[in-house]
Amino acid sequence: MGLRHTSALDDTGGKQGFERFVRTFAQYGGSAKYERWELAWRAGYQQTRALYLAGGDDPIEVPIQSKWRYRMMLGYNFKSWDADPELAYEYFPEGEADAAYPEPRHRWRLATDLKFDKHNHLELFVQRQHGPELYSGLARTEVRWVLGLIYHHRTRAGA
């Protein structure tokens, strides 16, 4: 279970700017290893609520967006190499009640994880997403490419 604060650029209409959202989610997953291969899966449910809208609309009047998501990941551990690759596919099914996701969305990610010690690691990835816009109610399909860098720090092992 978790809580995430996000923002998105609203670049349509007369008033443009960054809109803010809060997302709550619950997920369940597992993994299996065979020799140097790792297969992981995850199923999750999320709800996104608007906190601030650039156009001045009342965020309380915007419907809560609910979404199921499913993820599969395949990784390989190269001998004597710390930057092991992972390929992940995430699927956001159609048929949800909200109009912001009128068709399914697909996300592919190729990533590597550089571990410095048991408390610090750096994730590098390239991601391709195809489907409707993430936060807008417009039924506009797009393809997004993302090049990402995420730094993780744990204050204690297992946290």
Mean pLDDT, rounded, of the chain: 80
| CA of residue 62 relative to chain centroid, distance | 21
Contact 101, 134 (CB under 8 A): no
Q: What is the pLDDT of residues 17-67, one digit of tens each?
A: 777 888 899 999 999 999 999 999 999 998 888 888 777 777 787 788 888
Share of the chain above pLDDT 90, in %: 23
Cβ atoms within 10 Å of 104's Cβ, excluding its own: 14
pTM, rounded to two decimals: 0.66
d(CA 18, CA 71): 28
Which has more confidence, 102 or 148?
148
98 pLDDT more than 50: no
* pLDDT top residue among 156 and 49: 49
Compute CA distances 30 → 38, 41, 42, whole Å: 11, 6, 7
Residue 19's closest CA among 112, 118, 136? 136
